[in-house]
Amino acid sequence: MKLPEMRDFIGRAVMTLYFTVCATMMAWTIIMALRDPEWTGGRIVEVLADFAALGFLVLIVATTVTRLPPKRTAQGIEPRVAALIGCFATVTLIAVPRVEILPQLQLAADLVTIIGFLLCTWCLWWLGRSFSITAQARRLVTAGPYQIVRHPLYACEAIVLLGIILRNPTWMTVAIGTIALAFQYRRIVNEERVLRAAFPEYHEYAQRVPMLLPRFSGVALPASGPR
């Protein structure tokens, strides 16, 4: 096995193990919640948010296991550090002490989280076997949500992050969220560089499709590429 293939295999194995553990923990949280005899509207929405998160985690595991070999990978340490911090910085939010919030705010936070995870699952479904944490080019995806913006998964993950911050609105969660978003943007910049180098047609795609914020011009953008 060549060195690039070995690195991809190790990265895939580590990611699969990590997200499998996360999915297992989320599944256990849901099981414990379902045993609670007291159910309220807010409690139901909270469990639904956990189900949405579990579905996204399971899809991450599936796409990681089956992903295509990379055609090009960003070189240097910075793209790897940016990818790791951008992806996993939000995990530290678990350790931030929780504050009491109004039930209305918690309900709104859970609804935002559900919407964010459902949109993330939609994006990841279309990205499929091209998914990776580090900046790599596997296959150019321009259909589905990728005909609306070039990086919809990052935009939808920001929605999830907003829901998480709303559930625990402290200066620390806001600071960590800001750091995560900054490194997520660096991931985008690095991915753009790799995709432009790997796919000559990416320049034309980038000319007509915005990076993160969709254009509401009333004109539907055609799907011009494979899943």
pLDDT tens, 31-53?
Answer: 998 888 888 888 899 999 999 99
| CATH 3.20.20.70 correct for 3-208 | no
Residue in the structure block whose two tokens are 């990076």:
211
**How is residue 185 written in tokens?**
């943007």
- Examine the pLDDT at 217 and tell me if it is beyond 70: no
pLDDT (0 to 100) of residue 219: 44
- Examine the pLDDT at 78 and tell me if it is beyond 50: yes
Residue-range domain boundaries for the chain: 3-208
Among 179-183, 197-201, 221-225, where is mean pLDDT lowest? 221-225
Instruction: Give the residue-averaged pLDDT of 166-188.
Output: 95
Among 48-52, 53-57, 66-70, where is mean pLDDT lowest? 66-70
pTM over 0.85: yes
Residues 158 and 165: their CA atoms lie apart, in Å, by 10
pLDDT (0 to 100) of residue 1: 57
Give residue-wise pLDDT tens across range 93-144: 888 888 999 989 999 999 999 999 999 999 999 999 999 898 999 999 999 9
